[in-house]
């Protein structure tokens, strides 16, 4: 068993910035490191509870914060890999580990001796002379343990453990089914003529993707996570568009002869039922009530109020847009009624006709390398004085992941940024940020390693990577999370980087999107990949003019998904849903978001955010934090925009705070008042 001796997870990495030693990590290392890591942490917690000494902040909270370092090391690397470069091995291990990790978390959070110590400290918190961050840490532990069920009877705790274990197995299976179906249902095209409208680069990428699956001479369109596929905007063949959308929407609903292997419907029903039962056990009416109690929203009613206030206006705006699109079809003598698979295609036509904006014409100005270095990094340099230097000598988890060193103005090091931008069969859909090494003064880790994953189709060999408008937005967005992770300063690992409330965490990343079209930034990165010419000012002006265009559709499809997520999690423990499609249709109809031409951004059976991604009863978070985002963008605009002074203020009062304080207090400190709703209504045309 050489692996237990030479396991790279058993000690801190000695590479720069504690970058995990990817070159020496292999599959055999994960399982023993997880098992050892859990055993170690339980022993560390045992040492806290078995002492005869009275509880102190130091011997309980600080000791807890120091515990579990082996487990953190392996978990951060493994879950990064299982998301970004999975294999049969990681899928199986993830499914095996899910109940073990859930039981491990329960063993700590449901430990009566540990809870008694935390509760005792919490009761005397005002006499402990703690600084603000330490006091907040105590408060967070007490709240989280209480909500996790630490105060329940032994019998109820056993029921809770059973719920948690079963749920972790089901949500892992949901994710696995979704990845399987996403690959399985990728669209195979026989005749290149059917791909009319795609660029040469996209067509050769489709040919290459088919070759990789031994489908030589054919073309393969990979599916992406939301319902809408980017190619729906350009494919001229209506039948192909219909097939592509149908494939996207068919994920998780196939009950084939092989025993319904990837049918997510029974999982959705069981997951939501178990979550409702667990919420009742913990004293809440619904899972949504349980979740929002520990968010800035506080109640499902507050969430419903905001979403319900926006939905009618969004649906109305979408109907107006729909009429515009139908008018184009009729003027062309199309002779058909606009369907969901036509929306993006005719939207592009109207965009061209009404605003003279052709988003495809922008792509030559959005070459990945330039967007990254001269756009994303440049804006961070102007605002926060950061410099990014490629470190090709440092190895990431995949040959396509690229490592950059991040330094501040005075040359001191902040950490590493790793970008992994291309899509592959082994990567889950969507885009995200995660940390491989978290900053914490307590643990002596002053620098961090943060990562961004995107799903950009790889160009054919020798061709440049030209991003779509949406992909550029996504890159700025995910990089906003990365900045939050890089700039936050915390004593305790619990508060490092982006460890903030889920309905707050999207706020800094959304704010970072504003720099994409900021004139000074855009002029710096949006250059034609062949001629080097700047994007014509006219094109820029038109993009700005059309920025509210199609917002009815976009807001509606998002709100539909957010409300669907809430609906699934507002059911009580006595309700048993039997028909997923019916439940979904009823939920959408009840809020007027059931226009068949505007499908929900995710349907239940491929709604990874809510059934496997940790956004259960929390998909509302995006628009919730967009209220803060829009209010903040207005502040930047009123105060001179892209300046070091503005960046410093945002860094000092908001990004740099990480999770160390109540986020709405941090917001007030940054903005000088609570956020107002009006800027969001203006931005989305919802007045
Ligand atoms: Zn985000």
Taking only the tens place, the pLDDT of each residue in 177-191 is 998 999 999 999 999
| Distance, CA of 430 to CA of 224 (rounded, Å) | 7
615 — pLDDT class (breaks 50, 70, 90): very high
Q: Which pLDDT value is given to residue 4?
A: 53
> Tens of pLDDT along 198-220?
999 899 999 999 999 999 999 99
How far apart CA 476 and CA 485 sit, in angstroms, is 14
- pLDDT tens for residues 81-109? 999 999 999 999 998 998 899 899 989 99
Of residues 295, 321, 367, 478, which has the active-site annotation? 478
Mean pLDDT of the chain: 94
Give mean pLDDT, residues 462-475: 94
Band the pLDDT of 75: cuts 50, 70, 90.
very high
Question: How far is residue 291's CA from residue 286's CA, in Å, rounded to a whole number?
Answer: 9
Residue 623 in tokens: 């628009």
CA 414, CA 486: separation in Å to the nearest integer?
Answer: 6
Q: What is the mean pLDDT of residues 235-246?
A: 98
Q: Is the pLDDT of residue 255 over 80?
A: no
| 599 CA from centroid of ligand 1 (Å) | 22
Please say if the pLDDT value at position 544 is more than 90.
no
Of 343, 452, 344, residue with least CA distance to 402: 452
Instruction: Summarize the confidence of residues 19-45 as an average pLDDT.
Output: 97
CB–CB of 521/642 below 8 Å?
A: yes
Residue with the bigger pLDDT between 321 and 4: it is 321
285 CA to centre of ligand 1 in angstroms? 29
Instruction: Give the Å distance between the CA of 499 and the centre of ligand 1.
Output: 13
Task: Give the Å distance between the CA of 420 and the centre of ligand 1.
Answer: 16
Report the interhelical angle of 502-512 vs 469-487 (nearest 10°).
120
Q: Is residue 74 predicted with pLDDT exceeding 90?
A: yes
157 contacts 149 by C-beta, under 8 angstroms: yes
pLDDT band at 257; cut points 50, 70, 90? low
Mean pLDDT of 134-160: 95
Please write the tens of the pLDDT for every residue from 412-433. 999 999 999 999 989 988 899 9
Alpha-carbon distance of 521 to 534, in angstroms, equals 11
* Structure confidence at residue 259 (pLDDT): 54
| Centroid of ligand 1 to alpha carbon of 59 (angstroms) | 36
pLDDT band at residue 594 under the 50/70/90 scheme = very high
Q: Provide the 8-state DSSP code for 221.
A: E
- Report the pLDDT value the prediction gives residue 3, as an integer from 0 to 100: 47
Lowest mean pLDDT among 64-68, 95-99, 249-253, 476-480: 95-99
User: For residues 660 and 494, what is the distance between their CA atoms, to the nearest angstrom?
Assistant: 9
Tell me the backbone φ, ψ of residue 658, rounded to 5 degrees: 55, -135
Q: How many CB atoms lie within 10 A of CB 637?
A: 12
Of the pLDDT bands very low, low, confident and very high (cuts 50, 70, 90), residue 549 is: confident
Instruction: Please give the distance, rounded to the nearest whole angstrom, from the Cα atom of residue 229 to the centre of ligand 1.
Output: 19
What single string gives the DSSP state of each residue in 260-324? Answer: STT--HHHHHHHHHHHHHHHHHTT-SSHHHHHHHTSSS-SHHHHHHHHHHHHHHHHHHHHHHHHH
Of all residues in the chain, what percent carry a pLDDT higher than 70? 98
State the DSSP string of 155-184.
HHHHHHHHHHHHHHHHHHHHHHHHHHHHHH
What per-residue string of b and e applies to 212-235 under the rule 16 or more CB within 10 Å gives b? eeebeebbbbbbbbbbbbbbbbbb
Nearest CA among 100, 45, 34 for reference residue 67: 45
Q: Which of 436, 478, 434 is closest to 454 using CA atoms? A: 478
What global pTM score does this model have? 0.87
Cα 510 to middle of ligand 1, angstroms: 7
Please give the average per-residue pLDDT across 668-687, as a whole number: 93
Q: Indicate if the pLDDT at residue 564 is higher than 60.
A: yes
Q: How far apart are CA 293 and CA 502, in angstroms?
A: 12
Active site residue 212: no
Does residue 303 contact residue 623 with C-beta atoms inside 8 Å?
A: no
Question: Quick one: pLDDT at residue 80?
Answer: 97
What do you get for the CA distance between the two ends of the chain, in Å? 66
């Amino acid at each position: 068993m050489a692996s237990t001796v030479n396991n790279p997870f058993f000690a801190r990495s000695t590479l720069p910035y504690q970058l995990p030693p990817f070159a020496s990590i292999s599959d055999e290392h994960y399982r023993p490191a997880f098992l050892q890591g859990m055993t170690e942490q339980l022993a560390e917690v045992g040492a806290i509870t078995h002492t005869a000494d009275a509880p102190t902040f130091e011997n309980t909270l600080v000791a807890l914060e120091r515990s579990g370092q082996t487990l953190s090391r392996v978990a951060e690397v493994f879950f990064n890999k299982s998301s970004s470069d999975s294999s049969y091995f990681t899928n199986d291990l993830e499914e095996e580990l899910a109940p073990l990790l859930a039981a491990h978390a329960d063993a700590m959070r449901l430990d009566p001796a540990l809870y008694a110590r935390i509760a005792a400290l919490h009761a005397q918190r005002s006499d402990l002379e703690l600084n603000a961050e330490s006091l907040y840490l105590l408060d967070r532990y007490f709240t989280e343990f209480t909500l996790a069920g630490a105060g329940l009877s032994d019998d109820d705790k056993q029921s809770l453990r059973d719920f948690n274990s079963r749920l972790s197995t089901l949500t892992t299976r949901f994710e696995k089914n979704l990845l399987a179906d996403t690959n399985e249902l990728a669209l195979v095209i026989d005749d290149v003529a059917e791909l009319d409208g795609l660029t040469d680069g996209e067509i050769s990428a489709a040919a290459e993707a088919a070759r990789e699956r031994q489908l030589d001479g054919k073309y393969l369109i990979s599916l992406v996570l939301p319902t809408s596929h980017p190619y729906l905007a350009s494919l001229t063949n209506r039948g192909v568009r219909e097939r592509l959308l149908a494939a996207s929407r068919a994920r998780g609903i196939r009950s084939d002869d092989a025993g319904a292997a990837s049918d997510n419907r029974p999982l959705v029903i069981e997951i939501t039922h178990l979550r409702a039962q667990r919420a009742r056990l913990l004293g809440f009416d619904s899972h949504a009530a349980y979740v929002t109690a520990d968010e800035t929203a506080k109640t499902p009613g507050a969430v419903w109020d905001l979403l319900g206030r926006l939905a009618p206006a969004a649906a109305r705006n979408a109907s107006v847009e729909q009429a515009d699109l139908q008018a184009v079809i009729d003027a062309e003598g199309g002779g058909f009624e606009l369907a969901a698979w036509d929306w993006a295609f005719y939207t592009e036509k109207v965009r061209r006709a009404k605003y003279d904006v052709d988003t495809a014409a922008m792509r030559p100005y959005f070459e990945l390398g330039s967007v990254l270095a001269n756009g994303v990094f440049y804006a961070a340099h102007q605002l926060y004085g950061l410099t990014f230097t490629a470190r090709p000598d440092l190895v990431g988890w995949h040959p396509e992941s690229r490592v950059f060193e991040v330094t501040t103005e005075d040359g001191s090091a902040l950490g590493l940024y790793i970008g992994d931008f291309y899509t592959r069969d082994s990567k889950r859909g969507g885009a995200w940020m995660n940390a491989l090494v978290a900053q914490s003064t307590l643990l002596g880790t002053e620098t961090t390693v943060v990562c961004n994953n995107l799903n950009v189709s790889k160009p054919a060999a020798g061709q440049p990577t030209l991003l779509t408008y949406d992909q550029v937005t996504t890159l700025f967005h995910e990089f906003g999370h990365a900045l939050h992770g890089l700039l936050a300063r915390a004593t305790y690992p619990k508060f490092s980087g982006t460890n903030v409330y889920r309905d707050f965490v999207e706020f800094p990343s959304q704010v970072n999107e504003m720099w994409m079209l900021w004139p000074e930034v855009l002029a710096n990165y949006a250059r034609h990949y062949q001629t080097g010419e700047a994007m014509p000012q006219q094109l820029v002006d038109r993009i700005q003019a059309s920025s509210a265009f199609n917002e009815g559709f976009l807001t509606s499809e998002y709100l539909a998904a957010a409300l669907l997520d809430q609906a699934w999690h507002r059911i009580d423990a006595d309700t048993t849903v039997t028909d997923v499609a019916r439940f979904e249709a009823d939920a959408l109809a009840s809020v007027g978001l059931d226009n068949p031409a505007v499908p929900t951004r995710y349907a239940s059976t491929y709604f990874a955010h809510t059934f496997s991604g940790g956004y259960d009863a929390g998909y509302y978070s995006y628009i919730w934090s967009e209220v803060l985002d829009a209010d903040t963008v207005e502040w930047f605009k009123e105060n001179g925009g892209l300046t070091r002074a503005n960046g410093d203020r945002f860094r000092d009062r908001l990004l740099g705070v990480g999770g160390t304080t109540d986020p709405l207090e941090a917001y007030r400190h940054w903005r000088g008042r609570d956020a107002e709703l009006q800027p969001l209504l203006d931005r989305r045309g919802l007045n």
